[in-house]
Amino acid sequence: MIGEDRLRYDPNHYLICTVGLPIISHIDVASSEEPYLGLRLVLDPAVVTSTMVELGFAQQQNDSVKAIAVSKLDSDLLNACLRLLRLPEQYRVLGPLVIREIIYRLLTSEQGHRMRHLATIGGHAHRMVRAVRKLREDFAKPLRIEEVAREIGMSVSGFHAHFKAVTAMSPLQFQKELRLQEARRLMLTESLDAAEAGFQVGYDDASHFSREYKRHFGDPPVRDIQHLRKLTLITEPA
């Protein structure tokens, strides 16, 4: 889940994300007999770029391509991922070669245009990466759209349009998502109360924070955290 978008994938599909987005994930199917297992691979933009160069791909601008999507997992990509997982002893030598093959498979798939986000060194796609990084670093501070737009060299209207095209959210929605997810983490893992968690992520008004939290997660903070603790068997520290 990201903003209003819902993405679903299973063992026959894979998800790719080219920008650090505030995502909420939910596992539908898992049990002690058949546990949920997943592979998360962080791709080095430099390796993506060099692979593109070797393939003769031009660094086309893909400024309005959404940064996240799900695609069907084909047999060649699956085979490369399995070979990567089966390299415990030879990983240092063979791992980088298999990862490069995975990048090749992705670049030549329907996700190729999205993969170019990772290699873009100019244009609006690169500016959106910088904007996302800045919002993530300063999410607890008041958001001044004009300053961010000026820092990345764009007009306010252009910044809004391209940011939403890439992240599926406006900058303000993006900041709110970051704030609420971090507040939830603080209450769940560090046992902060709602007022303190809200204050730490930038909410001066505890009532406003509670309303925003309930609107986003479906329950007020205390009830939501109690429910999560029961689900995850997390106990409060002594």
Question: What is the Cα–Cα distance from 85 to 81, expressed in whole angstroms?
Answer: 6
pLDDT, tens digit, for every residue of 120-131? 544 556 777 788
Which tokens in the block code for residue 237?
A: 């520290």
Residue 120's CB: how many other CB atoms inside 10 A?
A: 23
- Ranges of each domain in the chain: 13-119, 123-168, 173-232
Which tokens in the block code for residue 58?
A: 């031009």
Token pair 């063992």 is found at: 11
Which tokens in the block code for residue 159?
A: 């910044």
Angle of helix 221-232 versus helix 171-189 axis, rounded to 10:
60
pLDDT, tens digit, for every residue of 6-60? 899 898 999 998 888 888 888 888 888 989 988 999 988 778 887 887 787 755 5
Query: Rounded to two decimals, what is the model's pTM?
Result: 0.68
Partners of 72 in the beta sheet? 13
pLDDT, tens digit, for every residue of 68-96? 889 999 999 999 999 999 987 778 888 99
Tell me which residue of 166, 181, 168, 171 sits closest to 216, measured CA to CA: 181
Q: Lowest-confidence range among 115-124, 178-187, 195-204?
A: 115-124
pLDDT, tens digit, for every residue of 135-185? 988 899 999 999 999 998 899 998 898 888 878 889 999 999 999 999 999
Homologous superfamily assigned to 173-232: Homeodomain-like (1.10.10.60)
